[in-house]
Amino acid sequence: MMLKIKNLHASVDGNEILRGIDLEIGAGEVHAIMGPNGSGKSTLARVLAGHEAYEVTAGEVLFEGQDLLEMDPEVRAREGVFMAFQYPVEIPGVSNTYFLKAALNAVRKHRGLPEMDAMDFLTLVRQKMKLVKMDESLLTRPVNEGFSGGEKKRNEIFHMAVLEPRLAVLDETDSGLDIDALRVVADGVNTLRQADRSFLLITHYQRLLDYIVPDFVHVLVDGRIVRSGGKELALELEAQGYASFEQEVVTA
């Protein structure tokens, strides 16, 4: 089991957002979590990545058998958890390439691998850039500074491709993307799908799942998973909207 979430409760500023999440993700699986605004989707992503603003009040999360919640965010990243941000942060003065090299070397060091030299790194970077059809000029620019919305999202997938995580959490990577950019991002993710890498896609819309076909779909409402199913569940949602699922919560 890649990821095992048991009865996870989390709050921010004293408000409980996650109210008992149970979820298991096997190696190589792609899971999608869908839900209306305010259902706790992004909170789940941030709790998994270790954002300190969120307090876990109950439950546990095991990543490859280890207690994920005990780890600092950077340790989670080095262990192989990656989160693609809904709103990637601009960092002026820090070059996208050099930053990524520092990140990759931190990951490699943690795994007992030698630092990658400049030439090998450049070869790797060129190869991964093609995955997301990223313009080479974005390499030398400061991290996300002045990037368009689509470029920022592509850059997230590019970072993911370079860091080669075991578990990738994509927090609304599809939001705000036009159909061409969405295809590019989806192609990048699909290329990275493999037997020992799992994905958790967090999205509001079914559209992304036309391009990245999930193994499982979960519906998150009011901090709980109210339905789980196969990819057809996404179509049901698309047809009926979230209202009927919100009903389920009320009656539950």
Partner 1 sequence: MATTAETTESIGLPATSEATAPWAAAFERFQQELPASEPEAVRTLRLRGLERFISLGFPTQHQEAWRLTNVSPIARGTFVRPSATTAPKPEDIAPWTFDAAARLVFVDGRFVPGLSHRDGLPAEVFAGSLAEALDRTPGEVEPFLGKLGTLAKVADTNPFVALNTAFLRDGAFLKVPRGVVIREPIHLLFLSSGEEGRTTVSFPRNLIVAGEASQVTVVETYTGTGAYFTCPVTELVSGPGAVVDHYKVQRESREAFHVAAFQVLAERNSAPSSHSISIGGGLVRNDVNAVLAGEGIDCILNGLYLAEGKQHVDNHMRVEHAAAHCSSHELYKGVLDGKARAVFDGLIFVHKGAQKTDAKQSNRNLLLSADAIANSNPRLEIFADDVKCTHGSTVGQLDDDAVFYLRSRGIGMEAARSLLTYAFASDVVGRIKVDAVRHDLEELLFARLPQGEVVRQAV
Q: Which residues bind partner 1 (CB under 8 A)?
A: 49-53, 72-74, 76-78, 82-83, 85, 87-89, 91-95, 98-107, 110, 142, 159, 163
- Dist. CA 46–CA 63, nearest whole Å: 15
For partner 1, give the closer residue by CB, 101 or 197. 101
For partner 1, give the closer residue by CB, 107 or 226. 107
For partner 1, give the closer residue by CB, 49 or 202. 49
Q: Which helix (H) or strand (E) holds 229?
A: strand 224-229
In the complex, least distance from residue 243 CB atom to partner 1, rounded to whole angstroms? 32
- Dist. CA 100–CA 28, nearest whole Å: 25
Q: Which helix (H) or strand (E) holds 14?
A: none
- Dist. CA 111–CA 105, nearest whole Å: 10
In the complex, least distance from residue 231 CB atom to partner 1, rounded to whole angstroms? 28
Q: Tokens representing 134?
A: 């990223």
Q: What are phi and psi of 75, to 5 degrees?
A: -70, -40
The gap from C-alpha 98 to its chain's centroid, in whole angstroms, comes to 22
In the complex, least distance from residue 82 CB atom to partner 1, rounded to whole angstroms? 8
For partner 1, give the closer residue by CB, 125 or 221. 125
